[in-house]
C-alpha cells in the first residue's frame, strides 16, 4: 500500500476493527517513511453482485450509490451518520444474503423504502418521492395517507 502522503511502500498497522456489520475491516496505518497516518478498508471480494437497471443495463452493485441515496433522504434530519451507515449495512447484508447474483433496482428500492419507513417518516417521504417519481403535491398527499393506513413489512427479495 502506497502512503498517500509520500508514496513510501511500507507501513505498519496501528489499529484494526470490524465495520459494516463485520463485512469489512478498517485499518489505521502509519507510513514507515514519513509517519503519516491514514485509513484503509479491507473487504471480501466475492462473486460480483450485478444490478439490473430500469433500461435493462447491468452494472456492478455499488454500495456508495446506495449510501448516497440514503444520506440525501436524511439530509438535515436528526439521525447520526453511524445510524445511517447501519441502515446501509443492513440493506446490503440482506441483498447479499439473498444469494442472488443479479437484482433489479426496483427491488433494492423497495427494501430501502421499507427500512426508511421504520426509521424516519420524512426520510421515507423524501426517498419515496424520487423512487416513485412523484409529479405533484397530490402524489405526496396520497403517499402520506397510504403511509398512515398501512403496516410496515419487509420485502422478500426473491
Mean of the pLDDT values across residues 58-75? 92
Residue 157 pLDDT: 40
* pTM of the complete model: 0.63
Q: Going by C-beta distance under 8 Å and a sequence separation of 6 or more, which residues neighbour residue 43?
A: 20, 23, 24, 25
Higher pLDDT residue, 32 or 84? 32
Domains of the chain by residue range: 11-43, 50-149
Residue 70 pLDDT > 60, yes or no? yes
Mean of the pLDDT values across residues 28-36? 97
Map grid coordinates 450485478 to a residue.
Answer: 50
Q: Give 100-112 pLDDT, tens digit per residue.
A: 889 999 999 988 9
Give just the sign of the alpha carbon dihedral 139, 142, 145, 146: negative
Range in 54-58, 124-128, 151-155 with the lowest mean pLDDT: 151-155
CA distance 104 to 128: 17
Residue 146 pLDDT: 83
Range in 13-22, 27-36, 66-75 with the lowest mean pLDDT: 13-22
Helix (H/G/I), strand (E/B), else coil: 41:
strand
Buried b (16+ CB within 10 A) or exposed e, 112-142: bbebbbebbeebbbbbbeebeeeeeeeeeee
Amino acid at each position: 500500500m502506497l502512503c498517500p502522503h509520500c508514496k513510501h511502500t511500507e507501513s505498519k498497522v496501528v489499529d484494526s476493527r470490524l465495520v459494516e456489520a463485520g463485512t469489512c475491516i478498517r485499518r489505521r496505518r502509519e507510513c514507515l517513511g514519513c509517519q503519516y497516518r491514514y485509513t484503509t478498508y479491507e473487504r471480501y471480494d466475492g462473486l460480483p453482485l450485478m444490478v439490473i437497471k430500469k433500461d435493462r443495463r447491468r452494472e456492478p452493485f455499488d454500495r456508495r450509490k446506495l449510501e448516497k441515496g440514503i444520506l440525501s433522504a436524511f439530509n438535515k434530519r436528526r439521525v447520526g451518520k453511524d445510524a445511517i451507515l447501519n441502515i446501509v449495512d443492513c440493506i446490503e447484508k440482506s441483498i447479499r444474503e439473498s444469494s442472488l447474483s443479479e437484482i433489479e433496482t426496483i427491488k433494492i428500492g423497495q427494501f430501502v423504502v421499507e427500512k426508511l419507513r421504520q426509521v424516519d417518516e420524512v426520510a421515507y417521504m423524501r426517498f419515496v418521492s424520487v423512487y416513485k417519481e412523484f409529479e405533484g403535491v397530490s402524489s405526496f398527499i396520497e403517499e402520506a395517507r397510504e403511509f398512515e393506513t398501512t403496516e410496515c413489512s419487509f420485502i422478500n427479495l426473491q
